[in-house]
Amino acid sequence: MQHRNITGDSFFCWDGDTLIVNILGKPAASRDAIGEPLGNQLRVSVKAKPENGKATDHMVRFLAPLFGVRVADIEVVFGQENVNKQLRIKAPAVLPDVFGPAPASLAATPGKSRKTRGGP
């Protein structure tokens, strides 16, 4: 099944206040980490082994606090059991530095403060 790449040449795009991110996962890594973009995917390494989608579940739990959201606010669109995946992150409060500054339209949303977070 071929999935439509709505992010274009970037590894992410916005759909309203929802961040859509293409991920190239690396399970069974030595540590959990957000890496650099590779083409139109963001490298994300996790310590969990790739068994029945457990690495993806671990990745979502790892990413949620980095974006200032609950685990339930991250939807795996596709790739639950694959290294190639797409996530939808609802109203992230924080963006890791690799995403650059938040769009002005989101930063100015009443009641929502978007910050960037430095890397380790």
Quick: pLDDT tens for 17-47.
Answer: 999 999 999 999 999 999 999 999 999 999 9
Establish how many alpha carbons lie within 13 A of residue 31's alpha carbon, considering only the half-sphere containing its beta carbon: 4
- What pLDDT does 107 receive? 57
CA 89 to chain centre: 7
Tell me how crowded residue 35 is: count the other CB atoms within 10 A of its CB: 14
3 domain-assigned: no
Residue 4 in any domain: the answer is no
**8 Å CB contact between 82 and 103:** no
Q: Report if residue 90 sits inside a domain.
A: yes
SS3 54: helix
Structural domain includes residue 120: no
Q: Is residue 91 part of a domain?
A: yes
CA 109/CA 113 separation, integer angstroms: 7
Rounded-to-integer distance, Cα 57 and Cα 59, Å:
5
pLDDT digits (tens, 9 = 90+) for 67-117: 999 999 999 999 999 999 999 999 999 999 999 876 666 655 544 445 554
- Which residue range is the domain that position 99 belongs to? 12-115
Is a pLDDT exceeding 70 seen at residue 119? no
pLDDT bin (cut points 50, 70, 90) of residue 48 is very high
Q: pTM of the full predicted structure? A: 0.82
Q: For the chain, how many structural domains are there in total?
A: 1
